[in-house]
Structure 1
C-alpha cells in the first residue's frame, strides 16, 4: 500500500461536534508503515470532559489559546507551540483556559475518526454530558474507549 498525496484547504474537512470541541477530520493516512489520522480541534471554554482512556495514542499540538492537559496524574499547562502526548491506555483529557483553543490532533491508527463520527451522530454537543451518559457509554464501549474510573 502506498500513500497518495492529499491536500485539504483551510476550512475544509468533515466536522464532528464533540463535548470538548469541534473535531474536523483533515486526513487519514494508511501505508505500509502504519496509519494515522489528523484533526483540527476548535475547542471553546467549557468544563473539562471526564478523563477517558483511548485505544489509540493522541498527540495534541496547540496552535492557538491555552489548555490544561491531564495525562494520568500529571497536569500540563500548554501554550501555543506546545505538545502533549496522550498515550493509548492512559486516562487523559484537556480543558481550555480562556475563551477558546485551536489544536492540531494526530491519532495513531485509523479508529479515532470512526469514533468521532459515531459520537457526533449519537451525543448532542449542546447538552450537559450527564444528560447524555447512556449514549456516551454505548458509543465509547463500541469503540474501545472508556471513562477513567468507569
Structure 2
C-alpha cells in the first residue's frame, strides 16, 4: 500500500440525486478495503430509505442533517457521526441550505455504484421519471430502495 494525499477540491466528482459525492480515496490492503467520499448536499426532500451492501460512516463537517437509520432519526451537527450498518434501511436530509460530510464506506463497492448512478440516471428529470434507470443501477450493485419493486 502506498500513501495517498488528496488536496482540497481534488477527487472524482459524481453528481447524485442527493448531492455531489467526491471520491477522495479507495484503500485496499491486507486488512481489507474502504472508500472515503466528501458529500456536498443541498436542501432537498429526504430520499426514500435505501439498503446498501456496505457499512457507511457519516461524519458531518458543515451544516446539519437528519439521518434515518432503520426507523430511528438522528439529528447530526458538525463533529457528529452516524454509523449505518450494511443491510440497514437508511436515508438523510439536509436541515437548512447545504451540508458537507465525509462518507466512509466498507469494501470497494460504493464508488462503482456512484459512478454507474451518475452516468446512468438523468438528474434533469423528476425522480419518478428516472425510476426505471434508478432501479436498474441499484439492482446491479446490490442496493435496494426500501419498499420498492425491482424491474
- State the 1:10 CA deviation: 0.3
Is 1:76 equivalent to 2:74 in the alignment?
yes
Q: How far apart are 1:131 and its partner, in Å?
A: 1.2
Where do residues 45-124 of structure 1 align in structure 2 (5 Å cutoff)? Answer: 45-124=43-122
TM-score, with length taken from structure 1: 0.97
1:127 Cα deviation (Å)? 2.6
Counterpart-to-counterpart distance in 2, 1:132 and 1:5: 39
How far, CA to CA, are the matches of 2:70 and 2:21 in structure 1? 23
CA distance in 2, matches of 1:21, 1:129: 14
Partner of residue 132, structure 1: 130
Q: Tell me the matched-pair count.
A: 148
Scaled by the length of structure 2, the TM-score of the pair is 0.96
Q: Indicate which of 18, 22, 25 corresponds to 2:23.
A: 25
Establish whether residue 14 from structure 1 lines up as the match of residue 12 from structure 2: yes
Structure 1 stretches of 5 or more lacking a match? none
Query: Aligned-pair distance for 1:49?
Result: 1.1
What CA RMSD, in Å, does the superposition of the two structures yield over aligned residues?
A: 0.7
C-alpha distance in 2 between matches for 1:82 and 1:88? 20
Aligned pairs for 1:35-50 (under 5 A) are 35-50=33-48
2:32 corresponds in structure 1 to: 34
Aligned equivalents of 1:23, 1:128: Cα separation in 2: 20
Partner in structure 1 of residue 3 of structure 2: 5
Secondary structure of the residue aligned to 2:122 is coil
Structure 2: 5+ residue stretches without partners: none
